[in-house]
Amino acid sequence: MGFVVSKAVGNAVVRNRVKRRLRHLAREHVTSLPGSAVLVVRALPAAGSASYAALGEDLTRSLQRVL
């Protein structure tokens, strides 16, 4: 699983916070993916101001659509 967080999300501190949060949230879902799956998550600019819970809900909803 990879993450793309562009400068549109915010400065370096904000981008790194978003990446850390997504990485932590994604650990819960790795086991539900097929073994050969490659997944890239792109953070939209709104992710910079989103709460941890909101990021988790968005990630869960997105993965449900994919699976």
Please tell me whether residue 29 adopts helix, strand or coil conformation. Answer: coil
Helix (H) / strand (E) element for 40: namely: strand 40-43
The domains of the chain, with CATH numbers, are: 2-66 (3.30.230.10)
Average pLDDT value for the chain: 93
Tens of pLDDT, residue by residue over 11-41, are 999 999 999 999 999 998 888 888 888 889 9
pLDDT at 66: 84
pLDDT at 34: 84
d(C-alpha 43, C-alpha 19), whole Å:
9
Residue found under tokens 């939209």: 44
Better-scored residue on pLDDT, 35 or 3: 3
pTM higher than the cut 0.75:
yes
In our burial notation (b when 16+ CB lie closer than 10 A, e otherwise), range 39-67 reads eebebeeebbebeeeebbebbeeebeeee
